[in-house]
Amino acid sequence: MSTKAPANSQYLMNTYSRSNLVFDRGEGSWLIDSNGDRYLDFVAGIAVNCLGHSNPAIAETICNQSRQLMHISNLYFNTNQMALARKLAESAGLDQVFFCNSGTEANEAAIKLSRKYGGLSGNPSKNIILHMKDSFHGRTLGALSITGQEKYQECFRPLIGGTAQVDFNNIASLTAAMNDDICAVFIEPIQGESGVTPATVEFLSAARSLCEKYDALLIFDEVQCGMGRTGSLFAFEQFGVKPDAVTLAKGLGGGFPIGAVVANTKAGGAFVPSDHGSTFGGNPLACTVALTVLDQLENHSVISEVPVKNAYIIKRLNELKEKTPLISDIRGMGLILGIEFTSGAKEIIASCLDKKLLLISAGSNVIRLVPALTISLEELKLGLDILEEAISEPTT
């Protein structure tokens, strides 16, 4: 792999720590660089490309819809947007949808929805949003303000006020923080960026009860863990706890930008015209792609095969854990999994890159596995063989 920065890279703002790889195309679970070398992709655009790269159904949808109608603004209805809203609402057992373009935008909308809901209560102090320690909800100022990781916040203070942090999976911490001034509680059912840590059923159930007691909205951020990645369309289905609203993006478009807030009438009904908006949100092209993604996930055995693939990965990782003291924990659900190492995760990722396997970290010394949901068992075996080889190499 070249150590020289690629041509024209100097024109990009320095906002990412990138390798010098330049990818030109993708096929399923593989990416092909500008030299023609193939890399097995266990990153999938950070849990975005749920149907793999260059999925034929998505490509055909984009081609056909782009010839018909791409954008009209939200001054008018469009058929695809209404169809997608109905599909998401009915699938979630909720009522209303707001469309935008990304996970951060979805969380920004949910923040505003929370404040509006609190303001309608008659209690002028009901504007406090609780978030979890080690959470991640996005890069905009509002989303950063409910992100429980100082490393993302420190350069951008002051953040917005009216937020408070509680300990994730700690019922006592959440209970102590709840009162009549809380308008919403934001929770990732699986904390992705900080290390792939699932919530407990008991914690989410307690949050549901406390939100009902204090008339606060329970909002789940499923931007990374939703859209089939846990083995059900929505991650909250794995826990048996339904939120008042759920935020989505990433896998919803399978690589095409789209975000959404799906809410019950109690939450969604707080918004009225001019409260919020998005110029490109819910455009006909994005919505048609998302409808195609949902069809592929649910009607072509993609979600139903996730538990089988999970079982294979877990079996292999547990066998590997028995062989090496470097692995301290294996956690997650479906095809969002974290391998915690005692040390050396960064070096293992680099070694796998040299062996043409793409991996991503999550938090300190955790390797995150978020491949396309369409990845084959043969491809999983190949990737895990490479990972095992990299772990077995002596460190220098």
pLDDT band at 1 (very low <50, low <70, confident <90, very high): low
pLDDT of residue 153: 92
pLDDT band at 126 (very low <50, low <70, confident <90, very high): very high
Distance of alpha carbon 64 from alpha carbon 235, whole angstroms: 31
Q: What is the distance of C-alpha 64 from the center of its chain?
A: 28
Distance of alpha carbon 42 from alpha carbon 49, whole angstroms: 10
State both tokens at 346: 């960064």
Largest CA distance in the chain: 64
- Average pLDDT, stretch 235-253? 98
3: pLDDT strictly greater than 80? no
- Average pLDDT, stretch 256-264? 98
State both tokens at 144: 């950063």
User: Helix (H, G, I), strand (E, B), or coil: what is residue 60?
Assistant: helix
Taking Cα atoms as reference points, which of 305, 306, 328 lies closest to residue 317?
328
Query: 262 near 92, Cβ under 8 Å?
Result: yes
Bridge partners for 329 per DSSP: 340
pLDDT of residue 5: 86
pTM value is 0.96
pLDDT of residue 325: 94
Q: Which helix (H) or strand (E) holds 209?
A: helix 201-213
Distance of alpha carbon 241 from alpha carbon 238, whole angstroms: 8
pLDDT of residue 4: 82
In the chain, ranges of CATH 3.40.640.10 domains: 57-299
107: pLDDT strictly greater than 80? yes
State both tokens at 91: 């699938």
In the chain, ranges of CATH 3.90.1150.10 domains: 9-55+302-392
pLDDT band at 393 (very low <50, low <70, confident <90, very high): confident
Q: What is the pLDDT of residues 32-66, one digit of tens each?
A: 999 999 999 999 999 999 999 999 999 999 999 99
Query: 154 near 215, Cβ under 8 Å?
Result: no
Q: What is the pLDDT of residues 130-141, one digit of tens each?
A: 999 999 999 999
Taking Cα atoms as reference points, which of 382, 88, 123, 333 lies closest to residue 231?
333
pLDDT of residue 235: 98
pLDDT of residue 17: 87
Q: Write the DSSP assignment of 304-346 as a string of letters.
A: TTHHHHHHHHHHHHHHHHHH-TTEEEEEEETTEEEEEESS-HH
361: pLDDT strictly greater than 90? yes
Distance of alpha carbon 370 from alpha carbon 49, whole angstroms: 9
Q: What is the pLDDT of residues 312-348, one digit of tens each?
A: 999 999 999 999 999 999 999 999 999 999 999 999 9
pLDDT band at 363 (very low <50, low <70, confident <90, very high): confident
114: pLDDT strictly greater than 60? yes
Query: To the nearest whole number, what is the mean pLDDT of the chain?
Result: 96
pLDDT band at 353 (very low <50, low <70, confident <90, very high): very high
User: Which CATH number is correct for 9-55+302-392, 3.55.50.30, 3.90.1150.10, 3.40.50.970, 2.60.40.60?
Assistant: 3.90.1150.10
User: Which CATH number is correct for 57-299, 3.40.640.10, 3.40.190.10, 1.20.1250.20, 3.40.50.2300?
Assistant: 3.40.640.10
Distance of alpha carbon 155 from alpha carbon 146, whole angstroms: 15
Taking Cα atoms as reference points, which of 352, 341, 360 lies closest to residue 385?
352
